[in-house]
Structure 1
Amino acid sequence: MRYFKILGEASMVRIQVGVQIACRDGWAGTLKRLVMDSNTGQTTHLVIETASSVGEVTIPIRHVVATGYESIFLDLTSTQLGTYREDSRE
């Protein structure tokens, strides 16, 4: 298993590809991969395989509010998550 470090404003955490993604209204999918800035080495986006028919979405790292042992928690609802598309990098 591969672990990756993501740097937030307060701390750096390790996350694993394949962990569960939780939205404010329930489980939404799994982490497929990370997008990193090649100049800074910092993670900028998460690529999520959604549990819905939306498929794969790419969201900015700023939507991560917490991480757990096997999960990442977002400040989005499942509906909001579905509005992002695979290469929607803001």
Structure 2
Amino acid sequence: MKKLTDFEINKKLESLIDWDYYEDALHTDFEFDNFKDCMSAMNRIAFECEAINHHPEWTNIYNVLEIKLTTHDANGVTELDFKLAEAINKIVEVEE
């Protein structure tokens, strides 16, 4: 998979709600009502990750989920990271 340029990444970010690009990765965080809701979202995201064989770096503290997406084989962000970010937004139902 081809690493995207900074220009390509920033252009694609215009249509991706609540994600930022820094340190060669896409970053976001979500705050849920409680731990159970956060874990439920993580489990739903995990099934999508397995389906497309691409996995995030993520941390969870109580009701907050922080996600970092990068393609290690490409040493940066690829189309696959954007595909997963879009799927995550649908799972978590991010709204403008």
TM-score tier by shorter-chain length is under 0.3
Greater relative CO (CA pairs within 8 A, separation 6+): 2
Query: Higher helix fraction: Structure 1 or Structure 2?
Result: 2
For normalisation by structure 1, the TM-score amounts to 0.27
